[in-house]
Amino acid sequence: MKYSRILGTGSYLPKKIVTNEELTKTVDTTDEWIVSRTGIRARHVASEEETSSYMGYHAGLRALEAAKLSAKDIDMIIVATTTPDKGLPNTACLLQERLGITGIPAFDMTVACAGFVYALSVADQYIRTGMLKTILVVGVDVLTAVTNWEDRSTCVLFGDGAGAVILQAADKPGILSTHLHADGRQKDSLYIPTWLPGQRKENELPYISMDGRAVFRFAVKALEQVMEEALAANQMPQSAIDWLIPHQANLRIITALAEKLKLPLDKVVVTVDRHANTSAASVPLALDEAIRDGRIQRGQTLLLDAIGGGFVWGAAVIIY
């Protein structure tokens, strides 16, 4: 049986950093409020040039370099994003062009903050069945471009960035399992109105809209359940997990989950303090950071989780 193995990871963060202190100059908020409710201290904000395909390209290049491969070795590109450069072509095509390769399939997946885990799962199926050998999976978002900077209840929460992995077929694990869920009944808890001007309701702003408390409650319950499902599917006790790489939305959600899973916080990769919520990029950014700084070692067992507007959520168990 073939497994998909993470051969290399990469990431990209926009150059501009906006601290909580800077936000207080334009929004009625405080550093103390933001840190105590979310754990966020700063976020990276993309420039006009730093689009999803641009950031995804740079993250992808770094992942290729880490994998010691070149772009022509890639058999497929999947980009998880809710903030594509254009309505069409898709961001994966634009990224393919930047990489200077043609012919291989390239497509986007719009699964909000859970996009990377969903894309990883799809890529894993192609490799396990033997159809493809090497896949570039990118999670990237520019949520600050769809954030209302006058709405203090949302604008403090988001940041921009990209993370990428190169998956390759191998005889030993690899991704052990992925677990995906969705509940469309929750569509009004967290959404971005359509960007099609002809279909937007009058007076509706094209920005993220969120019922923070509803998201918080649902996220903790859904992520706890999907992580238990992932552990049970692999007959693993919590103690088998070397690293939890959670979706970086809110430090309170992350610590609540670590407590429920009885995982000490020093086994949890946290970037939300510096990156805020980067949506589809949050998990691969955290993964890349912890691999590059040497915390995550080959052979260790990783548990990934993510949740986003839909709601959509999922988990993955991976031997790195």
The residue assigned the tokens 């501009």 is: 16
250-269 residues in contact with ligand ACO (CB under 6 A) are 250
Active site residue 93: no
Q: Nearest approach, Cβ of 172 to ligand ACO (angstroms)?
A: 33
Residue 118, amino acid: Y
Asked whether position 277 contacts ligand ACO by CB under 6 A, the answer is yes
Which helix (H) or strand (E) segment is 306 a member of?
A: strand 301-308
Annotated active-site residue 277? The verdict is: yes
Closer to ligand ACO by Cβ: residue 44 or 62: 44
Assess contact for 43 and 144: CB atoms under 8 A.
Answer: yes
Does 156 interact with ligand ACO (rule: CB under 6 A)? Answer: yes
Minimum distance of ligand ACO from residue 15's CB (angstroms): 24
| 161 torsion bin: left (phi>0), alpha (psi -120 to 50), beta (else) | left
Applying CB under 6 A, which of residues 113, 120, 142, 146 lies at the interface with ligand ACO? Answer: 113
* Identified binder of ligand ACO from the candidate list 185, 213, 262, 298, rule CB under 6 A: 213
Q: Which is nearer to ligand ACO, 65 or 259 (CB)?
A: 259
Contact call for residues 116 and 136 (beta carbons, < 8 A): no
Alpha-carbon separation of residue 190 from 46, 78, 222 (angstroms):
22, 24, 15
Query: Hunting for tokens 């980009």 — which residue is that?
Result: 79
Residue 257, SS3 per DSSP: helix
Question: Which residues are catalytic, by number?
Answer: 113, 247, 277
Binding site for ligand ACO (CB under 6 A): 29, 33-34, 37-38, 113, 152-153, 156-157, 190, 210, 212-213, 215-216, 219, 249-250, 277, 307-308
